[in-house]
Amino acid sequence: MSKAPDDLKYTKDHEWVRDNGDGTVTVGITDHAQEALGDLVFVEVPEIAKRLAAGEACAVVESVKAASDVYSPLAGEVTEINEALGDAPETINEDAYGEGWMFKLRVADAAELEAMMDAAAYGRFLEEEDA
């Protein structure tokens, strides 16, 4: 069973969101997502200052098995990107919720965050998806 920390929010596309408490959030892909993808060989993160709509494809993760888009969980502006992933995409496999973060967003509407799934809801979602 893959991990899903309680202090994060989740999307149906298997992204996680951490509220940094300063109007920004950190975004990555979940442990379940990295497990399903397998060994990552390439990560493309969005550009700094790029404005994203909620649900917009903004990054790419490519593994030995597949290439997938990562969708922005919320509307906002990219404030920071994890440049270390360029040389070490496997960081996401090793530490999806920590060092494997992908980008930070200044969110346009904090209420959107509240409406997202919490860890328990994401867990139920995964069970339904498996079923």
Per DSSP, the three-state class of 36 is helix
Nearer to another protein, 53 or 57 (CB): 57
Nearer to another protein, 23 or 86 (CB): 86
In the complex, which residues of this chain contact another protein (CB under 8 A)? 42, 44, 47, 57, 62, 66-67, 69
CB 127 → another protein: shortest distance, Å?
Answer: 29
Residue 112 tokens read as 């959107």
CB 63 → another protein: shortest distance, Å?
Answer: 9
Rg of the Cα trace of the chain?
14
CB 93 → another protein: shortest distance, Å?
Answer: 17
Nearer to another protein, 30 or 68 (CB): 68
Q: Which residues 6+ apart lie within 8 Å of 109 measured at CB?
A: 74, 75
Tell me how far apart the alpha carbons of residues 54 and 93 are, in angstroms, rounded to a whole number. 25
Tell me how far apart the alpha carbons of residues 131 and 66 are, in angstroms, rounded to a whole number. 22
Nearer to another protein, 6 or 47 (CB): 47
CB 7 → another protein: shortest distance, Å?
Answer: 33
First to last CA, the chain: 14
